[in-house]
Structure 1
Amino acid sequence: MGSNIVFSANNNEEVMVLPVVPEIEVNKPQNNEQFETLNNGTINLIGDEGLRTFSIASIFPSQKYSWLKHGSVAEPFKYVDFFNKWRAKKVPLRVVTSRPDGREWFNMPCVIDSFTFKQLRNGDIEYTLDMAEYRFIGGV
């Protein structure tokens, strides 16, 4: 099966499978608070979980390399246009990642904090996406 990273927008109106699966480091903060007391010194109150964040850095290929993920395309500007379009519309994306055995690793709505890209001489586009979890308001 293999790992996959899939982004979708507006309830699967548009879906993009990333052509290359890079390493992903997910930051999952806890909003704890420390207080100084008179008798006990410092105490730590456990807070709510913060918003998860992660960053992806890889390429959008311009050629049909043999190692591209099934369902992806060798049209780098399709990916650039996808992320720019939904970011401009202020629509959160859903990202679904799978483990090497095909089981889901995480599935969450997210927003793009930063999108950096440059076209390489061979036509591929090198990019970095910084993403943050999006929480729907009102029980949606």
Structure 2
Amino acid sequence: MDIFFSVNNRKTVLQLPIVPSEFKIKSPFNNETWSTINQGDILLIGQRGLKSISFESFFPKKKYKFARTDKYKGWEYAELLETWRDKRIPIRLVITNTKINMLVLIDDFEYGPQDGTGDVYYSISMTEFPEIKLKTKRV
């Protein structure tokens, strides 16, 4: 399994060097509970909510044999992700060997040194960014 981020139709691609040991996908459904006079609470089926995903790992400062890539070093990974966030553009997230291939926005990105290695440890959470499809009415 590998994890890739990309922007602008793969103009810039970032492969995570260290694959997280686990990730979690939250897939909510927006059901609504209503209180009625005669039946008490009832549940109305809503629409699917936006998926979110989160994981944590680290960006290595030096070369490790188990790293998937060494294109960037430590802080450079964090700086690239911050640059994309500042530009306010959706990011394509692809996790190989899964069905995950979606546009996301980064909701939370926490990073910093944790030990004396110079590696940058991080946690990241993202939410699905669905393409908006507007229907036009012909007059």
TM-score, structure 2 as length reference: 0.87
Does the C-alpha gap of structure 1 residues 31 and 72 become closer, same or farther in structure 2, counting only changes over 3 Å? farther
The root-mean-square deviation of aligned C-alpha atoms, in Å, is 1.5
TM-score, structure 1 as length reference: 0.86
Q: Where does residue 64 of structure 2 map in the other structure?
A: 65
Query: Identity over the aligned pairs, expressed in percent?
Result: 36
Q: Tell me, in whole angstroms, the C-alpha distance in 2 between the residues paired with 1:127 and 1:7.
A: 15
Q: Tell me, in whole angstroms, the C-alpha distance in 1 between the residues paired with 2:46 and 2:27.
A: 13
Q: Where does residue 123 of structure 2 map in the other structure?
A: 128
Count of residues in correspondence between the two structures? 132
Task: Please report how far the alpha carbon of residue 17 of structure 1 lies from its aligned counterpart in structure 2 after TM superposition.
Answer: 0.7
Please list every run of 5 or more consecutive structure 1 residues that lacks an aligned counterpart in the other structure: none
Q: Tell me, in whole angstroms, the C-alpha distance in 2 between the residues paired with 1:105 and 1:41.
A: 40
Greater C-alpha Rg? 2
Task: Please report how far the alpha carbon of residue 121 of structure 1 lies from its aligned counterpart in structure 2 after TM superposition.
Answer: 2.1
SS class of match (1:11): coil
Does the C-alpha gap of structure 1 residues 67 and 14 become closer, same or farther in structure 2, counting only changes over 3 Å? same
Q: Residue 60 of structure 2 aligns to which amino acid in structure 1? A: P
Please list every run of 5 or more consecutive structure 2 residues that lacks an aligned counterpart in the other structure: 135-139
Q: Tell me, in whole angstroms, the C-alpha distance in 2 between the residues paired with 1:50 and 1:106.
A: 16
